[in-house]
Amino acid sequence: MKLEEKGNENVFDLLKTSALRRTTFNIYFCWFIISYIYYALSWNTNDLGGDPYIT
């Protein structure tokens, strides 16, 4: 089995086909939502009650 030679890929190659566009959008969307939830939870840990270092 031969390996193909690597070309000059860039970020825009992720937008060439509809399947790659959909997958790329879903990954970026999930990354944004998870980051936002983590950020919101990290600011609201004091409202959860208890010692944040123990719980």
The 10s digit of each residue's pLDDT in 1-55 is 565 777 788 888 888 899 999 999 999 999 999 999 999 888 877 777 777 677 6
With respect to residue 54, please indicate whether it lies within any of the assigned structural domains: no
The confidence score (pLDDT) of residue 36 equals: 95
7: left (phi over 0), alpha (psi -120 to 50) or beta: beta
| Residue 55 counted as domain residue | no
Provide the token pair at 8.
Answer: 């000059």
pLDDT in the model for residue 32? 97
Residue 31 within any structural domain of the chain: yes
Asked whether residue 6 is domain-assigned, the answer is: no
> What Å distances lie between residue 54 and 43, 48, 51, CA to CA?
17, 12, 5
Q: Which domain holds residue 23?
A: 11-48
Domains: count for the chain: 1
- 44 within a domain of the structure (yes/no): yes
Q: What is the dihedral of CA 19, 22, 28, 32, to 10 degrees?
A: -160
